[in-house]
Chains A and B, each alone.
Chain A
Amino acid sequence: MTKRDLLEIALSNLTRLRLRTFLTVSGVVIAVGAFVAMLSFGAGNQKRVQEQYEKFGLLYTMQVFPDDERPDSLPALPLDDSALALLQGIPGVRLAYPLDAVTLETNFADTVMSARAQGLPRSALETQLFSHLTHGGLFTSDSAAEVVVTDRFLRRFDSTGSADLPGSKLVVTTRLATLDSALGAVFSDPDGSLRRRVAALRLDSLRSRAFREQAVRDEAGLALERFLEGLLRHRATVVETLTIVGVLETQHMTRRGQEELIVPVGMVRRLTQGGVSDNPADLFSTLSSGRIPWAGTDGSSRDYRRVTLDLDPTMPYQPIKDSVKALGFDAFSYAEQFKEIREFFVYFDLALGSIGLVALVTAALGIANTLFMATIERRREIGILQALGARRQDIRLLFLVESAAIGTLGALCGVILGWGVSRIGSAIAQEIMERQGAAVIELFAVTWWLVLVALALGLCVSLVAGYVPASRAASVDPVEALRAD
């Protein structure tokens, strides 16, 4: 019996019992459809993550931080310009640039909002991380009064006409807390209270050590209060009018390393010269670093919270990370993060696939039931085939082919159903994202490997489900079968 004959007889048997075959195949279609739709959600997210990492070159980007958990409780090394030079010298590092950010008050489209601006050298803007300009171009120099805005920044203003933006103006303001005002407040005594407390001191009281210590503590506390009051109340204001030169696409994977506004590195220094932004986060960060670029310094000894390394794609990231650690800094590798994300997606896909498999097992029971029924109903037919010369393996194969035909047809239709469900799911999700003002992204992807896995699973499950009924059919005693009336 040839394979073609087997297929012909099998299909003839299946088409003869159309309703039963339809119902059994439907079970497989729904199961495979559910499997494909669920896994396409995992695959879609995985694909989006991978595309983002590749598009923005995150796999070749590393972030360096001061190491707050050094061995032997040593203090964290400052991430300053000399550290920047050392990092730049590590083999495999194409460019090292610091995160020099400031919180600004922006006046754009008649709306005043607070936004974070990041100072970058022009060379950093040429790396892949910042390479996705949707309109316009880069700064003309590292000190130009220019700005590149991100689509994330524009969305906050409900601005959609980003094509016309290059050339328009953005007014930015910083309010700086300065050391001059803070120290002035410490030594000022506008209401005469300090003078009164000094006058009230009595010599015999000063002989008491406890009294002296308490008085010093009280005065130190009051001085700190006046310092902070001076720091926060008497601020210097810096206003700059910047020309928007480009619009940058934001990478969605991680906002670390990309602020809403990108300005030349010299502009950030100009905006923060002689003080520190009064933004609580900036202030706390600066104070906690212990090294404040106060008035009187030229800004050459700035400390950075983070340095970004643009890596050579041909070099492995681990030796570079080891070199960074050896310099006494902490490093975060997106490539390492991507590896972890991929591992997560393996488990995520397994979880989704397991749910789909439950549906497939149910479908398999349907196939088994159909074939068991067929074995009973076609007992005489099996006997006839054996009397005509069919071997037991021919009978087994015949039933397995019928089972495989159900599985294959069900899997094919299931893939189409799963694809359809994923498209509907995607359309609904994108509609919601659009309404919420979020970036519209593709959540589902029916990949070629998913199609192959679904088809293979449909076939395998049907063969497994059909094996026992097929074996039972093959073991039918022809004498008994032909005797049956």
Chain B
Amino acid sequence: MVTPAGEPLVRATDLSRVYRPGPLEIRALDGVSLEIRAGEFVALVGSSGSGKSTLLNLLAGLDTPTQGQVEFGGQPLFTGSPGTLAAHRSLRVGMVFQSFNLIRHRTALQNVELALYFDNTPKSRRRELAGATLERLGLGARLDHLPADLSGGEQQRVAIARAIVKRPQLLLADEPTGNLDETNAHEIAELLRELNRDGITVVLVTHDLELARQYAGRIVRLHYGRVIPEDAA
């Protein structure tokens, strides 16, 4: 079910995530509550260790909170069933990472196709969709290239193509410009803004406040695992 623009798409309530790698306890997120409306372009900014990526992983359903809940389209995400989270990642969410996370022995086309293996898209349709998405992102001539044969900007475009090929409602981008030069960083940010204009809700994690101000519609600041109120920022 698609959430209409302006309606709450994601609602995080009192989210906490505590890691216990040893005797010490690391509180990565501490009672974060956040609402993201459908069609928004939200930037999560903060210094390293502020909990941006942790929050993103929780919204993606890659990680589970120690406390709190995330509702997506009004439905709770953490119900205890791992299948629910896998379906969430497969059908509703697309993810983009700083280090691209492309599979190096698969071509650009095969990397994008991979996102459609888990939502029962027929094989013939997979190839068609993946090809069309790469074409749209200006990589029509690079379909059969391996990631190693592509530039950083191109690799990130492939990663974005992979994230949006299944037409997710929410695109979560974790420092997508972190490994790129300034020109490529702006190109990628611009691409994200275009996708947002096409109706995809975008959450961009960045430590680059300027970039966030330039492209995002709303900025959410995190500091030591807590959201800093807008009036305090």
List the interface of chain A (C-beta within 8 A of B).
1-2, 4-5, 9, 16, 380-381, 383-392, 394, 478-479, 482, 485
Asked whether B101 lies within 8 Å of A478 as measured between CB atoms, the reply is: no
Asked whether B118 lies within 8 Å of A388 as measured between CB atoms, the reply is: yes
Say which residue of B89, B99, B114, B115 sits within 8 Å of A485 (CB atoms).
B99
A selection of 12 A-B contacts at a CB cut-off of 8 Å is: A5-B117, A16-B105, A381-B103, A384-B114, A387-B60, A387-B101, A388-B117, A388-B162, A389-B91, A389-B117, A389-B119, A479-B57
Report chain B residues within 8 Å CB of A392. Answer: 82
For residue B62, CB closer than 8 A to chain A, the reply is yes
Q: How many residues of B contact A (CB 8 A)?
A: 26
For residue B23, CB closer than 8 A to chain A, the reply is no
Report chain A residues within 8 Å CB of B118. Answer: 1, 388-391, 394
Asked whether B63 lies within 8 Å of A386 as measured between CB atoms, the reply is: no
For residue B83, CB closer than 8 A to chain A, the reply is yes
Task: Compute how far the CA of A9 lies from the CA of B111 in the bound complex, rounded to whole angstroms.
Answer: 12
6 additional A-B pairs beyond A384-B103, A388-B89, A389-B87, beta carbons within 8 Å, are A385-B114, A386-B86, A389-B117, A389-B118, A390-B86, A482-B101
Closest 6 pairs between A and B when the two form their complex, measured CB to CB: A389-B90, A389-B118, A391-B86, A389-B89, A388-B115, A478-B62
For residue B97, CB closer than 8 A to chain A, the reply is yes
Asked whether A391 lies within 8 Å of B162 as measured between CB atoms, the reply is: no
Q: Which of B84-103 contact A (CB under 8 A)?
A: 86-87, 89-91, 95, 97, 99, 101-103
Which has the most chain A C-beta neighbours within 10 Å: B99, B103, B118, B162?
A: B118
Task: Compute how far the CA of A479 lies from the CA of B119 in the bound complex, rounded to whole angstroms.
Answer: 21
Task: Compute how far the CA of A5 lies from the CA of B116 in the bound complex, rounded to whole angstroms.
Answer: 11
Task: Compute how far the CA of A404 lies from the CA of B1 in the bound complex, rounded to whole angstroms.
Answer: 39
Report chain A residues within 8 Å CB of B99. Answer: 485
Task: Compute how far the CA of A9 lies from the CA of B105 in the bound complex, rounded to whole angstroms.
Answer: 12
Asked whether B97 lies within 8 Å of A388 as measured between CB atoms, the reply is: no
Task: Compute how far the CA of A425 lies from the CA of B159 in the bound complex, rounded to whole angstroms.
Answer: 58
Query: B171 CB to closest chain A CB, in angstroms?
Result: 13
Query: B227 CB to closest chain A CB, in angstroms?
Result: 21
Report chain A residues within 8 Å CB of B91. Answer: 389
Report chain A residues within 8 Å CB of B102. Answer: 384
Chain B 121-139 interface mask (CB, 8 Å, partner A; 1/0): 0010000000000000000
Say which residue of A4, A16, A387 sits within 8 Å of B89 (CB atoms).
A387
Report chain A residues within 8 Å CB of B60. Answer: 387
Task: Compute how far the CA of A384 lies from the CA of B118 in the bound complex, rounded to whole angstroms.
Answer: 12
Report chain B residues within 8 Å CB of A389. Answer: 86-87, 89-91, 115, 117-119
Asked whether A479 lies within 8 Å of B63 as measured between CB atoms, the reply is: yes
Report chain B residues within 8 Å CB of A383. Answer: 101
A478 closest partner in B (C-beta) = B62
Report chain B residues within 8 Å CB of A394. Answer: 86, 118
Task: Compute how far the CA of A71 lies from the CA of B87 in the bound complex, rounded to whole angstroms.
Answer: 82
Asked whether B117 lies within 8 Å of A1 as measured between CB atoms, the reply is: yes
Report chain A residues within 8 Å CB of B87. Answer: 389
B54 closest partner in A (C-beta) = A479
Report chain A residues within 8 Å CB of B114. Answer: 384-385, 388
B114 closest partner in A (C-beta) = A388
Asked whether B162 lies within 8 Å of A479 as measured between CB atoms, the reply is: no
Asked whether A482 lies within 8 Å of B119 as measured between CB atoms, the reply is: no
Chain B 61-94 interface mask (CB, 8 Å, partner A; 1/0): 0110000000000000000001100110111000
Asked whether B101 lies within 8 Å of A386 as measured between CB atoms, the reply is: no
Task: Compute how far the CA of A388 lies from the CA of B93 in the bound complex, rounded to whole angstroms.
Answer: 9
Task: Compute how far the CA of A382 lies from the CA of B115 in the bound complex, rounded to whole angstroms.
Answer: 13
Task: Compute how far the CA of A16 lies from the CA of B107 in the bound complex, rounded to whole angstroms.
Answer: 13
Asked whether B62 lies within 8 Å of A386 as measured between CB atoms, the reply is: yes
B95 closest partner in A (C-beta) = A387
Task: Compute how far the CA of A383 lies from the CA of B63 in the bound complex, rounded to whole angstroms.
Answer: 12
Task: Compute how far the CA of A206 lies from the CA of B87 in the bound complex, rounded to whole angstroms.
Answer: 124
Report chain A residues within 8 Å CB of B62. Answer: 386-387, 478-479, 482
Say which residue of B97, B105, B120 sits within 8 Å of A482 (CB atoms).
B97
B119 closest partner in A (C-beta) = A389
